[in-house]
Structure 1
Amino acid sequence: MRPAGYAAVKAGRAAFLLHRRSAAVAFALAAALAVVVIASLSVGESFVSPAEVVRVLLGQPSPDELVVGTLRLPRLVVGLLVGAAFGLAGALIQTVARNPLASPDIIGVSHGAGAATVAAFTFGITSYAALPLVSLGGGIAAALLVYVFAWRNGLRATHFVLIGIGFSAAMSSLTQLFLTKGDFLIAEQAKVWLTGSLNGRGYDQAAPLAAVLLLLLVPLLWVARAQRDMSLDDDTATALGVRLGRVRLGLVALGVVLASVATATAGPVDFVALLAPQIVRRLTRGAQIPLLCSALMGALIVVLADLLARRLFAPIELPVGVLTAAVGAPYLLWLIVRSRSGGRT
């Protein structure tokens, strides 16, 4: 018997259940993202018609190929990948913590990756190949510390979030220490990076993140099944033979890797990982956070925020992290107030 709201889909000999509302939301998000992508490639110092943008994307000859394909498209690709990675990371970590406040930038992962990257800047390491590895190491180190300190006869969501917030503050202080100790020009470069920006980003920065996303495709298929187990209460899941400790560790590890490499690519673009899964969950109204929808929503948030950051105060260009923080900070406060008042989050 199929659960309510699901449809059976067959692909050859394989069969699986598809949540109808999640599929509809994914289709709507993909359509909205396509519109924003065309708008982002069209709008700039010079306007390019959407028809010419489509011609360039399809590989057809166009007089605007230099503007669209060479100047604007690489930055857009970075925004899409960064947004998708943050959306996925937020969905994974919120699934483990069962708390809407849990996201890489709240529990210290992004700040740990940021502190490690700023330290690399301070010591003269600015290679595009090395920075993702440095950021990944910082994110993993921060996540391990939070995980160890939050573990007390099992991983409790409240401890996880509170200890993560404490580590975020500690990592922010460490970042400021590195900024004061470094060379002035390098410190200014690091400060710009810390705001979260797509300015000057291109395929060199996109390649490591794209490789990570491709490598994690197979593990993410396992996550879809693991999420169903995580939606059960601990006693029921344990009775069914689910090894909750290993499942949680696996989900957190994937989320940490995605958030850390995304942070190395564009800086700590705050609140995307917090917003995307929660918006998706409210749209789909499901017990689980759909990963595809979270990735699409994260990409949509980053690309739209980057478009607004470029054009709201033109010719002044704001970092994309400023726009996401302007929306995400009030939402975080609303979540905290709602949680304290006993509202459903």
Structure 2
Amino acid sequence: MTAPTAPAGRSPAPVTPVGHALLRAGRASFLLHRRSLLVGTALALLLATAVVASLCVGESFVAPGEVVRVLLGLPSPDELVVGTLRLPRLVTGLLVGAAFGVSGALIQTVARNPLASPDVIGVTHGAGAATVAAMTFGVTSYTLMPYVSVAGGLAAAALVYALAWRRGLSAARFVLVGIGISVALGSLTRLFVTKGEYLVAQQAKVWLTGSLNGRGWDQAAPLATVLLVCVPCVLWAARAQRAAAFDDDTAVALGSRLDRDRLGMGVLGVVLASVATGAAGPVDFVALLAPQIARRLTRTPHIPLLSSALTGALIVVVADLLARRLLSPVELPVGVFTALVGAPYLMWLIVSTRSSRSGGTA
């Protein structure tokens, strides 16, 4: 039997992969992963719920209806509490979580290792050391802090890359060198704290735990500007990481320029993690948790950037809500709660990775 052919003058209909949906808008077509779309929608709804809950709950409870009125710009008696006190902190938390989520996804894609995240390989420690050094020497401008953080993060990433390179980049060596650099930078940061004035040292200690306390539009605005500028780069990275998820030979056969793509994704991940660290401090383990949770939920071969951003934002908002209200009236840094979840997950990930490797050897 012969295979059926398309009628003369017509091109054969495109084959849609299993689990995907083909959307057409004129001559343009878009291929969507159905499960990723459903997961992204669910995460967005959960995030919206967490946002409303965070704006409602505090020293005084605000009704959800009044929160919505403030968000819509309508007159409300709770405009001061919601719009002036709680909203800037919430927006900062959303942006920080999204930046850490995307950063972790990109760095894990480049390293091909679920243990590789900005807080594990030294990027956030480099940004933190540079920021604390600037605070110690009297630099307090909120406009300059993002640039200082990015410079520290890039310097730490370049040092890790240079020390880990041995005729190629081994993922295990990359992570181990990053952990060593993190410890060294942590010691350097503590040195800066001891050399600074008492008030500056206390502020630096709180900042180093990762905190949204006292964060306002001064921190949210520069972070939002950097993230807005990075949006085209993130869209490019979402396309580039699909080829980077394959082995080197397959990626090259598909026409991917692996070295250029990996370098671009790595630099973008470092920049995002650094500016997020400059805004709220090193909120540990968000960049480690968010990409892996998103990947397990979507079941995609590569780490989805949008779901990682939503997951990171959700983790930070929920952790900040718990930090504010769990031991009220005492407010804990948000980094305390993310570390309580992230540290056991990191140990489990190390054990499971080692077990899978030993089980696969003869």
Name the residue aligned to 1:143.
157
8 Å Cα contact 1:154/1:245 also seen in 2: no
2:354 corresponds to 1:305:
no
Any idea what SS the aligned residue of 1:10 has?
Answer: strand
The aligned runs of 1:1-345 (5 Å cut-off) are 1-342=15-356
C-alpha displacement of 1:86: 0.4
CA distance, structure 2, for counterparts of residue 137 and residue 121 of structure 1: 15
8 Å Cα contact 2:243/2:254 also seen in 1: no
C-alpha displacement of 1:302: 0.3
CA distance, structure 1, for counterparts of residue 310 and residue 56 of structure 2: 21
- Unmatched runs of 5 consecutive residues or more in structure 2: 1-14
C-alpha displacement of 1:153: 2.4
C-alpha displacement of 1:271: 0.4
C-alpha displacement of 1:159: 1.6
Name the residue aligned to 2:9.
none
Per-residue Cα deviation, 1:117-145 (whole angstroms, up to 9, x for no partner): 11111101111011111111000000111
Calculate the aligned-residue CA RMSD, in Å.
1.2
8 Å Cα contact 2:96/2:313 also seen in 1: yes
Name the residue aligned to 2:7.
none
> Partner amino acid for 2:280?
A
C-alpha displacement of 1:75: 0.6
Q: Percent identity?
A: 73
C-alpha displacement of 1:82: 0.4
CA distance, structure 1, for counterparts of residue 185 and residue 191 of structure 2: 10
Any idea what SS the aligned residue of 1:81 has?
Answer: helix
CA distance, structure 1, for counterparts of residue 110 and residue 300 of structure 2: 16
CA distance, structure 2, for counterparts of residue 179 and residue 311 of structure 1: 29
CA distance, structure 2, for counterparts of residue 93 and residue 140 of structure 1: 13
Any idea what SS the aligned residue of 1:341 has?
Answer: helix
CA distance, structure 2, for counterparts of residue 332 and residue 106 of structure 1: 10
CA distance, structure 1, for counterparts of residue 262 and residue 71 of structure 2: 40
C-alpha displacement of 1:110: 0.2
Between Structure 1 and Structure 2, how many residues are aligned?
344
CA distance, structure 2, for counterparts of residue 231 and residue 3 of structure 1: 18
Q: TM-score, normalised by structure 1?
A: 0.97
> Partner amino acid for 1:274?
L
CA distance, structure 2, for counterparts of residue 12 and residue 197 of structure 1: 47
Per-residue Cα deviation, 1:190-226 (whole angstroms, up to 9, x for no partner): 1111011101101110111101111111111111111
CA distance, structure 2, for counterparts of residue 55 and residue 139 of structure 1: 40
Per-residue Cα deviation, 1:199-256 (whole angstroms, up to 9, x for no partner): 1101110111101111111111111111111111012222333221111110000000
CA distance, structure 1, for counterparts of residue 246 and residue 101 of structure 2: 23
C-alpha displacement of 1:152: 2.2
Q: TM-score, normalised by structure 2?
A: 0.93
C-alpha displacement of 1:11: 3.0
* Structure index of larger Rg: 2
Any idea what SS the aligned residue of 1:216 has?
Answer: helix
CA distance, structure 2, for counterparts of residue 296 and residue 62 of structure 1: 29
C-alpha displacement of 1:288: 0.9
CA distance, structure 2, for counterparts of residue 285 and residue 237 of structure 1: 20
CA distance, structure 1, for counterparts of residue 224 and residue 78 of structure 2: 26
Any idea what SS the aligned residue of 2:356 has?
Answer: coil
